[in-house]
Structure formats: C-alpha cells, structure tokens
Structure 1
C-alpha cells in the first residue's frame, strides 16, 4: 500500500497531477488538482494517497490532508460508492462539512454533492454515522437549508475560502481580483471547497 508520496508536481490536468518522485512520474487523481498547481516545478509537496487496485487498472488517488484520505477510505466502504464518486464528494465538500452533514443526517447537503442522490445519501448516513471517529468536524454547523449569504463578511462561503487560500500564500489583492472575476458564477449552495477550486483555477491562470 502506498500511503503517501513526496515530490515535485510537474504536470496537472483537471482530474489529476503528475508527481515526480526521484525521476518516476506518478499520476495521482485528486479532488482538487489546482490545490497543488502553485507548487508546479517548485518545492516538493506531500500527497497522501490511496492505492486502488482492480482487475483492469492500478490507480492512485491523492489528498492534501490526512482528513481527506481517511474520509475517502470510509466513503468507498459504502455500498455503491466507488473511488470516482468518493473523489467527487471530496471535490464538492471539505471533510469537515461532509462529516458534519453525516452526523446531522443532512440529506439536503449530501445530495448537493456530485453523484449523490437521495438513496445514496441515506446509505452514507446509515453506514458511516457511527464510524467517523477521528475525522474532525472542526466545529462546523451545517444548516439544513444551506442558506449562506455570500456577501456577508461574517458568514460568507467566500470568506472561509479566502482564509484557506491565504494560508497557501496568496495575497488579499490576488484573492480579491479572483473573487471579482468569479462572484457572478458562485451560487449560495456551493461549498467552501468548490469555491476554492474555482478561485485556484483563476489564480493559476492569472
């Protein structure tokens, strides 16, 4: 089992990055490849991985944190959820928000995630509600109707995403510019991670 890789990002696409580890290029499918885009051809990064083996392929799925890795492994234990669907869930929501939604049996939130219908959401809650110890919710409270005021600086999804992006080294000026270019395309029910992904794509291109 390959638990993590450490190397330089030398290429990325919308679904994966290629990590150069001592001259070997590993294709790693990620929830948000743009998270690693800023490090392309620069410093080494650590990607926590899940090594998935099936009859016709050997695949690596990669994550920025142990929390994502743990939740991914829990999700693929649920009947009917394969690695691609689990990756889509993590692309649409942070581990904190997904875990909080499961604990609160928030079907409305879960069905907003890619590839998740009502029956699948119910199955996730039934199978995982008592199996998520060790995956922090970070004190997040998910509102059942997902009513978020994007322009309220105290509870804005964008403000949460902005703080996370600042921790990656982006400046207020860079982030404010990205927000001006993307705000019309952001809807109130989008998760912090989805907003971050949009911003990172603009920041990398810009």
Structure 2
C-alpha cells in the first residue's frame, strides 16, 4: 500500500491535485488542493490508499496527523472517504479531536457533511480512541457552546484577509471575492484556516 508520495503538482481541481512522481501522474484527493497548488517545488503528501470493488483512490494529506484522523473517521459508521475529507477541510485534526472528546455536537455539526446523528456516532465511536489533546484545543472547542457570533466573525475575518490577498494574486476581482465571502461567512465555525477559506471561496466562485 502507498504511504506517501513525493512529486510536483502539475494540475489541480476543486477536489484533487495531480502529482507528477517520476513521470507518472497520480490523482490525489485532498482536503485543500489549493494549499498544495501554490507550491512550485516538489512536495510530500501522506497517502491513504483506498480500495473498493469499483474503484482505487488516493487521498493525500500535508501531515501525518491529518492522515491518521482521516483513517479514524473512516471507522465511524456512515462516514466514507468523501465525508471524512470534508471534515478535515473544515477543521484541523486537533480541533476535530478536541470537539469529539468534549462531545461538542454544536461544533461537529458545522463540519461539511456532518449531521446530528453522525456527530453523535463520531463521539460514540472515537471518543475513547483518540490520544491526549492539548488543553488549548479542548478549551477552544468548548467555547463554541457559549461564544457569541462576534468572536467567530473576528477569527474568520482575520483568516479571510490572508485568503483574499492570495486569491487577488490569482487574478480574482475584489467584487467577486466580496460576493463569495458574503455567501459563505454565516456558515463558518471560526476555526477555519486561510487555506480552508481559499477553498471555500473558490468553490463559491466556480458556482458563479
């Protein structure tokens, strides 16, 4: 089974990148293709090699932590590779782990593809299978139960400033970016990184 690949990104779409490894192009689905696409140098991607009766797919991650969390999510009843990928697109592994351990269903149900029943299964199936989580992440996710909308907006705005600047460098106009931001900002948790917001904005832009 493939554990990692090292190569150069030669093409990317909203869900995957094509990684050139010694003149062989591997299509690798990843939580945020745009994070890899900006690199002009060879990169390493940690791989989950997923085999089904009707397909063989590669899922790639920037860190071992993402790879490990992806595999744990696949152990949850009702969560397949695409949903697990969406979860990691919506939150860092340590944040997702902290939300599970603190049984923060409010946070979990804001992740892409996760409804209340699935969030409950995540807690039931994974709470005792995750390692120790830094107290700061536990505190951050616990605050989601009581925090006002303003702090969430503040954190999201800070990450969006970096995302907007990067997207502007790709040629998108400010009016287009503001429209995308207005369409997605009310559905944010406040934990999204700049890279995640770039992906969400690009999805909005592609939808028109």
Q: Tell me which of 59, 80, 83 is aligned to 1:82.
A: 80
- Contact kept in structure 1, 2:9 and 2:42, CA below 8 Å: yes
RMSD: 2.9
Q: Deviations over 1:73-130 (max 9, x none)?
A: 0000111111111111111222122111101101111111122111111110011011
- Contact kept in structure 1, 2:32 and 2:199, CA below 8 Å: no
Task: Give, in whole Å, the separation in 2 of the partners of 1:44 and 1:88.
Answer: 25
- Contact kept in structure 1, 2:159 and 2:193, CA below 8 Å: no
1:28 aligned onto 2:25: no
Unaligned runs of 5+ in 1: none
Unaligned runs of 5+ in 2: none
Q: Deviation at 1:139? A: 1.9
Measured at CA, do residues 145 and 115 of structure 1 come closer, stay the same or move farther in structure 2, by a change above 3 Å?
Answer: farther
Q: How many residues align?
A: 190
Q: Deviation at 1:148? A: 4.3
1:7 aligned onto 2:27: no
Q: Tell me which of 99, 117, 129 is aligned to 1:131.
A: 129
- Contact kept in structure 2, 1:76 and 1:82, CA below 8 Å: yes
Task: Give, in whole Å, the separation in 2 of the partners of 1:188 and 1:58.
Answer: 36
Measured at CA, do residues 158 and 89 of structure 1 come closer, stay the same or move farther in structure 2, by a change above 3 Å?
Answer: same
Q: Deviation at 1:137? A: 4.6
Task: Give, in whole Å, the separation in 2 of the partners of 1:116 and 1:201.
Answer: 17
Q: Deviations over 1:53-89 (max 9, x none)?
A: 1111110001111111110000001111111111111
